Amino acid sequence: MKKQAPFKLLAFVSVLLIVMIGFIYEIKKTSDTSKSKKYISSKEKNEQEKAEAYVDEMKPKIEEELGKEDIHHFIKSVTFEDKVTINPMGRIVVNGYINDNPDKFYFSADLIYDSNKVDGMSYSEDVGNRFTDWSEYSKEVKEKYIKTAYPDKKEREQYLRDIGE
């Protein structure tokens, strides 16, 4: 049994040494990470500022794209939200809404830095409905769709006014 005591002591010291090395490594890693985080945070801030400036430059083009779709001249005003995001794919995303109605008439524009064009645009169903060219459909199809999409008579009447009918 006395021969096991030095072995137990050696095993204990080895485990203690491994734990201490791991602890020191974690402390070093944490301090390096905080330096990296400061650098990344600064870099992200610069990227965010560049994105926001680019969005300001591109707002007229976004409005122009919306205008091209607005065949019924429904759009009276366009409002952009202050928040500009950069998605994981590196696209700059800006959201907004039309005619002072953020709940119903919202849109999102995707931009690629320095492409000088609107690279993608999406909008709510209500906006899409107001961009629909009904000349391609029969009167029956149009009426059926509008009654289905706007079962409330007031909403339906507003929709018809929005598309100039």
Residue 132 sits at the vertex; the CA angle it makes with 83 and 159, to the nearest 5 degrees, is 80
Could you tell me the pTM of the whole model?
0.69
Average pLDDT over residues 66-80: 95
Q: Which CATH number fits domain 45-124: 3.10.450, 1.20.1630, 3.40.50, 1.25.40?
A: 3.10.450
Average pLDDT over residues 42-47: 70
Residue 45: the pLDDT is: 65
Q: Enumerate the domain spans of the chain.
A: 45-124, 132-165
Residue 29: the pLDDT is: 62
Judging by DSSP bridges, how do beta strands 118-123 and 106-111 pair with one another? antiparallel
Whether the Cβ atoms of residue 81 and residue 66 lie closer than 8 Å to each other: no
